[in-house]
Amino acid sequence: MLLKTWIWVIFEMAIVFILLSVPASNFHAQSNWFGNFPVDKLVHVCLFGSLSFSILVHFEKSKYAILKSIRANAYVLIFCILYGIAMEYYQKYYVPSRGFDVNDMLADAVGAIIALPLLYNLRKRNLSNK
């Protein structure tokens, strides 16, 4: 089971890297269907929420109690937020027509943080079903 969750984590990191490496010129202009809703920020929230959640689940499935601690959860959030910041620098210097956006970093952080209550809710639900 632990190998599956580890593969999931690696897959999530790769997906985030690949999607944030696509030049902006490859995206179509935002349709009017969404109005002024910032779809780009929603994508960042979902990507980093999913990444954070995958790492948290991987730690939760571990046999080591230290990986299930609040400190370990904090490290996961810090890692995901730093990964988001690093991806913004990467986009600025290495991805054509993409740049550095503080709002993207905030959306990344929000996504990472949202994963934590989702995990706690899942844990609570699993404990009540036993």
The rounded average pLDDT for each run of 10 residues, N- to C-terminus, in the chain (130 residues) is 88 95 69 63 94 95 91 96 96 89 95 94 79
Distance separating alpha carbons of residues 41 and 104, to the nearest angstrom: 6
In the prediction, which pLDDT does 44 show? 94
In the prediction, which pLDDT does 124 show? 84
Q: Which two tokens stand for residue 111?
A: 């996504």
Rounded to the nearest angstrom, the gap between the alpha carbon of residue 50 and the centroid of all alpha carbons in its chain is 5
Give, in degrees to the nearest 5, the angle at Cα 76 between 47 and 20. 25
